[in-house]
Structure 1
Amino acid sequence: MENNNSVNFADYEFIPKLLTQIEKVIIGKRDVVKMLVAALLSGGHVLIEDVPGTGKTTLAMTLAKATSLSCRRVQFTPDVMASDITGFTMYNKESERFEYRNGLVMSNIFIADEINRTSPKTQSALLEAMEEKKVTVDGVAHKLPDPFMVIATENEFGYVGTYPLPEAQLDRFLIKLSVGYPTAEDEAMILYRRKNGDPIETVEPVCSADDITRCISAVRDTHIDAAIYKYIVDIVSATRNHPFVALGASPRASIALMRASQSVAFMDGRNYVTPEDVALMVNYVLPHRIHLTQEAKVKRVSVELVISEIMKAVRPPFKSNE
């Protein structure tokens, strides 16, 4: 490696504190909590898909409270309109001119709860916001607060009243998470902590918007060896050539894999990315970006199996000596 310096966490001491605050509420899901924070420090967006009642929205709201970032939550239903999200202009009789009224997306963290229960038109209203950190209403661009993050939750497709997210929107989520059911021991702890109230009330802010912005900048300075760049490209390119893949991952996926790998390396105290970082983040960055052929579906081939085959076929450039 050209650079093997470690991160001075004295400058970013809020990161372990942030994980601790979230785990006051989200029990036994350290990996999920870490990935959510990694996405925040990457400047990316997160899609959380799981069955109802597993804590998807609670996870998002706990992150918002622990970071002291401004937060708006929208319960997506079929009657939510695009203008509710992006904002709208209306005529002001007193000033005799049209004025922009902020939409719900004007916040640091926007929680799109059950995003797949609203119409595709409303879902698509988030595209510009997620990619360019701005919204355009009546030809005028309005910049979103910095940092900006979308955390969308959805029930697994197939539940009554759900609409599949379009590929263009799926591609804009840095990672996709699944919370999963707790173990019996963890579920008992959830009951214990909720016996006398909601544990989210005990969560305290441990950082500011400036702290997050400064950390995002530091994450992007995390060193990447030339061989790691090639490793990322080789993995993503392989998704486009697999016989069971109808639509492979785009160059946006390569960028997402790079950013996510930088973030987990940074959180592990390193300012350089290893092949292990990339291999870890593949399972969060790529699955929602890959669409299988009809033949694969008939043969019950899963996206996870395809990714596993790709990772076995693409040789890592070296092993880290941590």
Structure 2
Amino acid sequence: EACVVNFLSPGDRVLSVNNGHFCERFAEIAERYGARVDRVPAEWGLPVPIDAIAERARAARGEYRAILVTQSETSTGVHNDVRAIRAALGDQPALLIVDAVSSLGAIPLETDAWGVDVVITGSQKALMSPPGMAFVGVSDRAWAASQRATTPRFYLDLGRGRTEIHTPNPSTPFTTAVTVAYAVHEALALIREEGLERVFERHRRMAQMVRAGIRGMGLTPLPDDAHAVDTVTVVRMPAGLDANEVVARARERYHVVLGGGIRRLEHAVVRIGHLGYTQPETLVAGLEALGRTLGDLGHRVETGAGVEAARRSLRAAAGRRS
């Protein structure tokens, strides 16, 4: 919301890359503040074709003020390729605004090198901290746009925050979530110690492990591997089975919390997160709980084969590293 009110004005044209719940929510926020939002849609579980995005931008002849992209669309498990989108846009004047809430710190996002203007993330995902802090990265071009934007803002005024942190006694405009700030500070120290490339590789290993386990059980991930994001795996449930029942049963009987589907996928999928501090044995326990839950509900799957496939994937990754 801060990225809408600081960089856009009522009546501005905006293009939304739209293939999931969080993409749509970003578009809805812009509409609430009076932006005229065009959507480039794709079926949930598929990426939006890069050529379609570029063509819509070209057809607008420079009228778009911003392009809204969610890099890690966790409602569907799809990775929207920010780098390719920016490259396809060429010299279009629109700001590229990226929702990186669940991707920053888990998968690559090179804001300056890729030409991203605004990036949003939160403390509670790959930064491994409690919820309560949001972070916004802003390019010089976006700061200039914020001077022209006329949407009213007070608490979410990023310019005010920028001013106050560049004073002799820097502070935030309002009360800081102090305990969360300390948590993020420690999490960043852990990330630096591990090394960012190793962090990315660890997320890839966890994602491959879970997808191997899911397929070993005889289940199907929603996006194909070429378009899957390394932060969450979305799993199709067997026909005739309500995914909400699976989530409730796994929690009550096995004390494992699976993510449910969202909106149009609410009853069709479960979601397994594997970002941040998630460890292999935690994911094995999640796979076992999922398999047993499906069996309890009358849908037999190969739980043991799935767990072994997950472990085999992890061993293979370890062998490649050595």
| TM-score by shorter chain over 0.5 | no
Could you say which structure has the greater relative contact order, defined with CA pairs below 8 angstroms and 6 or more residues apart? 1
TM-score by structure 1 length?
Answer: 0.27
TM-score by structure 2 length?
Answer: 0.27
